[in-house]
Amino acid sequence: MRTLWPLIAIVLVTAPPCAAGELALFDTHIHYSTPDWTVYSPEAVLKILDSAGVRRALVSSTPDDGTVRLYEKDPGRVVPELRPYRTRADMVSWYRDPDVLAYVEERLRRGIYKGLGEFHLRAEDAATPLMKRFVALAVAHNLVMHSHSDAATIQALFAHDGRLRALWAHAGMSAGPDEIAAMLDRYPNLWVELALRTDVAPGGTLDPDWRALFLRYPDRFCVGTDTWITSRWDELPRYLASVRAWLAQLPADVAERIAFKNAERLYGVR
């Protein structure tokens, strides 16, 4: 009897990535940054994504080599996003550093990127001539800007060029359904991702105001995890199970759009 246990363990580890009927996900907030590399190989990361039923992942990393390593292992799943951080130190100064703009221009020659971000930016830093050049670069290369910021910053980005397409990280972290609705009305090229927004479904039950927001704008939302620290990789399957649980409380066609179809259309990877 004892000898059966290893067999059972093998069966569990090699279970297919998506259980029958499980909603596939496009995770729009994944990082694979330096501290992750010694803990999880690219193969280990892809196995975690398999176990969580992540069909596609928008990946940005500090430095960008993490993204490229994952992309080369699984170009069908990884949608590369160029992060303007050569090191963590760039997080607080990238937007005023012409060297970072030159770095981004040089890196874009690789020709694989669908987005610019995820970056952190404050409204008072978003209206500068250098930021206008970052926005122009994004528009010229058809890159979706992925901005971790408040609503005022998003407004400043669109003020540079209304043709920009932007993904609002974490729905602004603290913006509520009313503020998000006003932004979606004002900016037709704005999409919103919900990484870390556990307030969408407190205690597992979809909040009525969020539900109304999703039904009103079913084509504008995406889901994500945010592996901003290494321990998030361990939590990812459980976190995405909680996301699936509130998606299941929406009409199936709306759930599918938020789960993966909106992001597939946004990034042109259908």
The answer to whether residue 27 forms part of the interface with Zn ion (CB under 5 A) is no
In angstroms, give the least distance from the CB of 169 to Zn ion: 6
Number of residues that bind Zn ion (CB under 5 A): 3
Q: Give dist(CA 167, CA 143) in Å, integer.
A: 10
* Amino acid at the residue 259: A
Q: Using an 8 Å Cβ cutoff, are 159 and 131 in contact?
A: no
d(CA 99, CA 88): 15
Longest dimension (CA), the chain: 71
Residue 58 Cβ vs Zn ion, minimum distance, rounded to whole Å: 10
Ranked by CB distance to Zn ion, the top (closest) residue is 226
Q: Which is nearer to Zn ion, 58 or 250 (CB)?
A: 58
Closer CB to Zn ion, 32 or 103, in the complex:
32
Binding track, positions 59-98, relative to Zn ion; x by CB under 5 A = ----------------------------------------
Peptide bond into 124 cis (omega under 30): no
CA-to-CA distance for 232 and 36, rounded, in angstroms? 10
- In the bound complex, what is the minimum distance in angstroms from residue 48's beta carbon to Zn ion? 17
The DSSP element (H or E) to which 10 belongs, if any, is: helix 4-13
Q: Which residues from 220-239 bind Zn ion, rule CB under 5 A?
A: 226, 228
Subset of 98-127 contacting Zn ion (CB under 5 A): 118
Helix (H, G, I), strand (E, B) or coil at 8: helix
Near Zn ion in 138-157, by CB under 5 A: none
Nearer to Zn ion, 64 or 226 (CB): 226
**How far is residue 111's CA from residue 143's CA, in Å, rounded to a whole number?**
11
- In the complex, minimum distance from the CB of residue 146 to Zn ion, in angstroms, rounded to a whole number: 9
Q: In this complex, which beta carbon is closest to Zn ion, that of residue 39 or of residue 182? A: 39
Closest separation between CB of residue 4 and Zn ion, Å?
A: 43
Judge whether 134 and 108 are in contact, CB under 8 Å.
no
3-state secondary structure (DSSP) of residue 232: helix
Of 83 and 165, nearer to Zn ion (C-beta) is 83
Interacting residues toward Zn ion by CB under 5 A:
118, 226, 228
